[in-house]
Amino acid sequence: MSGAAFLDRDGTIIELVHHLAEPDKVALIPGAGEAIAQLNRAGVPVIIVTNQSVIGRGKLTEAGLAEIHAEMARQLAAHDARIDEIYHCPLAPTVKDPRVIEHPDRKPGPGMLTRAAEEHRLDLTRSVMVGDTISDMLAGRNAGVAATILVETGYGTKVTMPDESIDYAVPSLSETLPIILAQTGRSGDIP
Ligand SMILES: [Mg+2]
């Protein structure tokens, strides 16, 4: 079984837009397309796990989310990058604490990662969770991944460190490559 790169979407791959609901506001964070293309070439499955409370709040439909993801895919394709699968949780939260699990599928719950592991036969103990918030880091922890990486893009600039949920902190997705390749056992495959 292979390890995977589990990536948050907003503030990690695309620029943070609060309650993003319009495809024309999708913009890749600089370097993200190239980083994902390198993961693709190294054979690391790239799985997005994203909380989309904007759906639960009634501000975006599932069809609208698909349009946003199509636009993201179009922009990634310009870098020869692709996402293997996207899991999203539509639930709107009732508490603000990013450490509280309200539902297994909503980060910091591990549900999207454990489902992906089952459906794609992924080894969580050789996988990495990358995101810009504590709830991303904890979702990785709760799923039992090998390492969590905080990117200092999006909300990542506001996270107080150190925090026991964070194994590594790097400026952006671009700098996660060596860590992901080492943790997933793909370090010998660097293109
Ligand atoms: Mg985020």
pLDDT tens figures, 123-140 = 999 999 999 999 999 999
Residue 58, class by beta-carbon neighbours within 10 Å (0-12 exposed, 13-18 middle, 19+ buried)? exposed
Tell me, yes or no, if 97 is annotated catalytic: no
Mean of pLDDT values over 166-188: 93
Single out the catalytic residue among 8, 132, 136, 167: 8
To the query of whether residue 8 is one of the catalytic residues in this protein, the response is yes
How would residue 188 be classed by pLDDT, with cut points 50, 70 and 90?
low
* 3 state DSSP class of 122: strand
Amino acid letter at 31?
G
Task: Give 118 Cα–ligand 1 centroid separation in angstroms.
Answer: 24
In this model, does residue 191 exceed pLDDT 60? Answer: no
Torsion of CA 133, 70, 109, 10, to 10 degrees: 10
Is pLDDT at 178 greater than 90 in this prediction? yes
| 136 C-alpha to ligand 1 centroid (Å) | 7
What's the 141 CA to ligand 1 centre distance in angstroms?
16
Residue 187 has pLDDT above 80, yes or no: no
Fold of 5-189: Rossmann fold (3.40.50)
Q: Collect all residues with Cβ–Cβ distance below 8 Å to 169 and sequence separation of at least 6.
A: 149, 150, 151, 152, 156, 161
Query: By three-state DSSP, how is residue 86 classified?
Result: strand
Give the span between the Cα atoms of 166 and 146, in whole angstroms.
11
pLDDT digits (tens, 9 = 90+) for 29-69: 999 999 999 999 999 999 999 999 999 999 999 999 999 99
Q: What is the pLDDT of residues 69-114, one digit of tens each?
A: 999 999 999 999 999 999 999 999 999 999 999 999 999 999 999 9
CB atoms closer than 10 angstroms to residue 158: 9
Quote the pLDDT of residue 77: 98
User: In angstroms, what is the span from residue 86 Cα to ligand 1's centroid?
Assistant: 14
Dihedral sign from CA coordinates of 112, 73, 136, 167: positive
Query: Which pLDDT value is given to residue 1?
Result: 86
Instruction: Say what percent of the chain tops pLDDT 70.
Output: 97
Cα of 189 to ligand 1 centre, how many Å?
Answer: 28
Q: What are the residues whose beta carbons fall under 8 Å from the beta carbon of 42, sequence distance 6 or more? A: 181, 186, 189, 190, 191
User: What is the Å distance from ligand 1's center to 5 Cα?
Assistant: 15
